[in-house]
Amino acid sequence: MTGPRLPRARGEVSAAVLDRLAGKPVPLPGRTALTGGDPYGEDLQLALYALYELHYRGFEGVDDRLEWDPELLRLRADVEDGFLAALTADAPSGGTAAEALADLLVEPPGGRGSVSHFLLRAGEPWQVKEYVALRSLYHLKEADPHLWVVPRLHGRAKAGMVAIEYDEFGAGRAEDVHARLFADLMVDLGLDPAYGTYLDAAPADVLAVVTMMSLFGLHRARRGALVGHFAAVEVTSSPGAARMADALRRCGAGPAAQRFYDEHVEADAVHEQLVRREVVQGLLADEPEREADLVFGVHATTFLEDRLGARLLDSWQRGRTALRAG
C-alpha cells in the first residue's frame, strides 16, 4: 500500500525533516535549535506528525528504513520532550481517575464552545465538510494508535481493550471497519477519502490531537496516559456522535455519511462502560501508580480538543474557512 505524498514544510524544522525523508543529505537541527519554538505550532507539529507517520503507512517514495533512523529518532525525541513539557504545564493536574472521567460528562451551558453543538444548531454544509476533512487525519487510521497499548497491558485491561478494538476494526468485517465507514462518509460529502489528502490543509491544532495519540502509544512509559486518552474519547463520543449524525441529516447528507456517526452512538455507549470497568479499573488494579498519568491523559486530551474547538469556531463564526491555505 502506497502512503501519501510528503506534505509541504511549515518552517525550518519540518523542512529539514521532510528533506531528509526525501533523501536529501541535509543536517537536522539540534536540541538548542528547537529552543523557543512553539510546541503547538505549525513547524514542530508537522515535523512530529511526519516522523510518526513513518510508523503508520509512511510516505510515497520514502525509504521504509528511515522509520528507525537514529538521527530522526533523536530529533523526534527532542520535539516530543518539548510537546510533553507544554502539555504537562498547560493541562489541568491532580485528582483521581474517577473524578477526571466524571468531569467529562459535564457539558458547557448551552453547548458553548462545542463544535458538535455548533454544527447541529447552525453549521452550514461547507463547515461540516471542513470538519470531516480535518478529522480525517485521525479517523482514516481510527484506533490504530491505541493498538500499541495492547501488549503493554494484561488481565482485565488487555481483554477490555481488545474487545473495544475488535469493534473498531469491524468485528471481522472489512466493510465495517470504522476507518472504512469514515471514508464512505467522506465520499458521501464529496470529499477525497484518500489517506492523508488533507494534511496540508490541517492547522497545527488538528495535528496536535493526532500526534498526542502517537506519542502516548509509542512510549511504553506513557501507557497510563494512552488509556486516559482512550477513556476520554470513549466517554464523550456517544453524545457528540449523536449531534453530528443529526447535523448531517439537517444538512441533507446521505446515508453513508450518517452511518459513521450513528454507528458510534450505539457502539461507544457500550464502549464507555467497557473502558471504565475493564480497561481503566483493570489497569489501576494492576498498576495503581499509573493513576496520575492516566488522569494526565484525560486532561491533555480535553485541553487539545478545546484548543481545536476554539480554533474552528473562531474561524467559522467569522465566516472564514478553518483550512490552511498554504
Does the residue 277 lie in any domain? yes
What pTM did the predictor assign? Answer: 0.95
Does the residue 241 lie in any domain? yes
pLDDT, tens digit (0-9, with 9 covering 90-100), for 115-142: 999 999 999 999 999 999 999 999 999 9
Helix (H, G, I), strand (E, B), or coil: what is residue 4? Answer: coil
Residue (of 167, 198, 203, 194) closest to 275 by Cα position: 167
110, 241: one domain: yes
247, 272: one domain: yes
Residue 326's pLDDT band (cuts 50, 70, 90): low
- Number of structural domains found in the chain: 2
Task: Take residue 240 and report the three cell numbers written for it.
Answer: 457528540
Domain hosting 85: range is 12-89
Single-letter amino acid code for the residue at 21 = L
104, 172: one domain: yes
Name the residue with cell 477519502: 193
pLDDT, average across residues 280-307:
97
